[in-house]
Structure 1
Amino acid sequence: MLTARQRSQPLSALPALPALLALLALCLTLSAPAPAHAAGRAQAAPRNPVVFVHGYNADPGVWGALRADLRADGYTDAELFSFGYDTHQSVNEVLAGRLGAYVDQVRRDTGAARVDVVAHSFGSLVSRWYVKFGGGAATVDHWVSLAGPNRGTSTAWACALWDQACRDMTPGSYVVKNLNSGDETPGAVRYATFWSHCDEIVNPDDSVPLTGAANTPVGCLQHNDLLGDDGTSAGVRAFLAS
């Protein structure tokens, strides 16, 4: 209904009804909450926790550089875990099972369905056995081997007489033969290896790459230098994000 003032105005001075309706629609649009799916897109996709597995005669402290790089990428300490273990024991009889128990605990603590595993040297055999024979194919998403003696290394003969882990690393050992029989990279796990043609521990150098994995040469680096090399770190982090 028009007021007395409005009735006294010429019709040309009254607001057009379509314009009023458009203005009302615009106000409703601006005040409406964002759709739930749009808000969801703004949230970062959840990451897998990362479990680091060190090599022979080492300890979790070797992962300092890579852990720092992952934290710089946005990981928190609550997403980064280091498995510490006695490296002089059997891969298949002892260590792979202990790693499996550790991964299960990480999954319980974080609520994650799967983890990513990053292993150096001897840790590659321990974690591969867990994946291939210990149920890890269902719980590991990405698996990374840095300078792993995946087909054995001749340098392990130097300590094989008195050390079980060294025997496990020798070419043709029970562990090496079984890991490389059939499918070298089984299951839905995504596999990657990083290797150096100047590795003084893993001989021959091409012991590291695996059929079915993303195999990356890192240039001329010493065995332990892969742990702190910027290029290797960038490659590992890109693979974990894939």
Structure 2
Amino acid sequence: MLPWKRALGTLTALLLAATVTVTVTPAVAATASPVSAAVAAAPSSGWNNYACKPSAAHPRPVVLVHGTFANSVDNWLGLAPYLVNRGYCVFSLDYGQLPGVPFFGGLGPIDASAGQLAAYVDKVLAATGAAKADLVGHSQGGMMPRYYLKFLGGAPKVNALVGIAPSNHGTTLLGLTGLLKYFPDAADLLTDKTPGLTDQVTGSPLLTKLNAGGDTVPGVRYTVIATRYDEIVTPYRSQFLTGSDVRNVLIQDLCPLDLSEHAAIGLIDRIAFHEVTNALDPARATPTTCASVIG
């Protein structure tokens, strides 16, 4: 390959990585504090408290699953305290770390990450004494648990999966991933360095396997919360699932004024957060509207 094509291929890979990094984890990029400081703050906010016992009102622990280039703290500085303040036992894990890459998770192969989730759910269930957990994930974190449910025996241990802007059927990154066929080096670099990203490209072998034979498994309730302004998982309707126990929600149908894009809907959008609580406790659900931002 000509040197300029090799350089351009590398540039394309970096552009893809930078697009996801900047958009998905502004909380990480915007702070100079080490992530360890945020981890230390998490227990004081009431989550990852292994002494927490689920109540009769909220009998299942909630496991939060971060997205690509994210981690167990920064992705959940908004939603975790929101749920804790409403009486839930809340836990979050780090997964998909690559050697020599600090702070950022969700980069390893998705099937391996699903194995990490399986072990973590077992740990949370053992600590809380609950029979089942509820899972809430953002971006990759809303899709990857489906691998755990379908292939790693997770379905009997999970009551509900709530995906916020999940990459359920892959993404074109607004067409950027379509460029990979013209730059083989870029594809090779992404596969070698960030398999968790290439696994999410539309039509990848991982997604083909995951979605073959149907999107869902029996016994689990699925909710997808999407925004029409998503610029990462595109087209946004690719996030939606098909199945007998699925609820697909477009946040603008609930509040037309909500302009959240891919990152904001998972990090700071209290309208989406309200819809998460409805999904976790449908028997006590209340209407989600623009006023839910102050709820």
| DSSP 3-state at the match of 1:153 | coil
In structure 1, C-alpha distance between the alignment counterparts of 2:240 and 2:230, rounded to whole Å: 13
Write the distance in 2 (CA, Å) between the matches of 1:113 and 1:233. 24
Q: Does 2:78 match 1:65?
A: yes
Match of 2:260 in 1: 221
Distance 2:152 2:281 in 1: 25
Letter paired with 2:226? W
Equivalenced residue count is 196
Matched, 1:234 2:274: yes
Counterpart-to-counterpart distance in 2, 1:101 and 1:211 = 27
What 5-or-longer segments of structure 1 have no aligned partner? 1-42
Aligned to 1:179: 210
Q: 1:170 aligns with which of 194, 198, 201?
A: 201
Contact 1:147 1:223 in 2 (8 A): yes
Give the superposition deviation at 1:188: 0.4
Given candidates 88, 92, 99, the residue that maps to 1:82 is 92
Structure 2 residue matching 1:154: 3-state secondary structure: coil
In 2, Cα distance between the equivalents of 1:70 and 1:45? 13
The equivalent residue for 2:139 is 121
Q: Which amino acid is 1:182 matched to?
A: G
Q: Shift in Å at residue 160 of structure 1?
A: 4.5
Q: Which runs of 5+ in 2 are unaligned?
A: 1-54, 98-105, 181-185, 253-258, 283-295
Question: Distance between the aligned counterparts of 1:185 and 1:160, measured in 2?
Answer: 29
- C-alpha deviation, 1:138, in angstroms: 0.7
| Counterpart pick for 1:193 among 206, 224, 231 | 224
CA spacing shift, 1:47–1:160, aligned 2, 3 Å:
farther
Question: In the alignment, which of 140, 161, 181 is matched to residue 158 of structure 2?
Answer: 140
Q: Assess if the C-alpha contact under 8 Å between 2:58 and 2:87 holds in 1.
A: no
Select 1:52's aligned residue among 60, 64, 88: 64
**Offset from partner CA, 1:19-38 (integer Å, 9 cap, x none):** xxxxxxxxxxxxxxxxxxxx
What is the rounded CA distance, in whole Å, between the counterparts of 1:147 and 1:45 in structure 2?
Answer: 27
* 8 A Cα contact 2:125 2:133, kept in partner: yes
Shift of residue 143, structure 1, vs aligned partner: 0.3
Alpha carbons of 1:154 and 1:47: their partners in 2 closer, same or farther (altered >3 Å)? same
Q: How much has 1:46 moved relative to structure 2?
A: 4.8
| Contact 2:251–2:272 (8 Å) recurs in 1 | yes
Instruction: Specify whether residues 44 and 113 from structure 1 end up closer, same or farther in structure 2 by C-alpha distance, changes over 3 A only.
Output: closer
**Kept after mapping to 2: 8 A contact 1:91/1:125:** no
1:90-148 alpha-carbon deviations (Å, 9 max, x no partner): 111x1111110110111111111100000110112321100111111110101010001
Q: CA RMSD in A?
A: 1.6
Q: Secondary structure at the match of 1:117?
A: strand
Is the radius of gyration larger for structure 1 or structure 2?
A: 1
Shift of 1:44: 3.5
Q: Secondary structure at 2:64's aligned position in 1?
A: strand
